[in-house]
Structure 1
């Protein structure tokens, strides 16, 4: 079933963008607010499908590998950044296709940008924590450390992502860009 897990991950990713595009098109192009809401609310169901597939695969005797790690990473990203990604796409779609205001931009510099980067890094750290919870939950459900150790090792190795992401908030804190003042 390992190849099926990869296909489900790919299907969930494609499904995410298809549901998102249809949901936003329903809202802004076709003016079908109720349909839009239904489509956008159904996005988390993709996560349930992926989680169920990973659990079924591992409970069925599969040895954890990179595919299961990818499923855990995808789920962690989706849980932590899914709503933010929906808001990001909504603002851009609204602006581009429905005359909405320009999407908000991150602060250009100064301590406001440093705060923005620290908050983003904190969300990355939370996603890493969610990945741990998912991996440990899967290991508990499988109850066979020999088969789940590769998954735990993979999540443990993802700490590098959290450390690399730390470069941005630290650099904006230590060397903040000057914000140009607007003269009238």
Structure 2
């Protein structure tokens, strides 16, 4: 496989994994985070608070793109992409290991927000860097195609997140709240071996 295609494949796979991890958070926020991390509130308010933590990732994304874009220009895009992929994987795995409000109190939602900020920050750096690196390695007549292919990682990530939660919906409510919701986050450990360029 040529270097151009290797970079394209790595960009697509990395982007799909990053977006998968970004979207599983949104699904979990709407299904379980209100009950586990905001149980002191009315269920509707708890769900809205959980979804507001999802929004934190979108606020952190542009900041990550500026920071990692700057350092990518100075230190090299490949090293910045590796850093962003590892950051996302660590934040996602730690979210899956996070104790609930009933175990550690107010620290549970605080840590949840911090981990979500790290996810958004790293995605902002990875996504732009992956598209840019793929376009830079493409031939002059394939730049639009290569950029578009990496861009499809958003859709692939959403599809994977939906499939995983669809499979977990077969669990009983008790099992899903106890451990099932953690499975997509902990699977980030398995994805770790693919986090390289």
TM-score (norm 1): 0.35
State the structure with more CA Rg. Answer: 1
Higher RCO structure (Cα 8 Å, ≥6 apart): 2
TM-score (norm 2): 0.34
Identify the structure with the greater helix proportion.
2
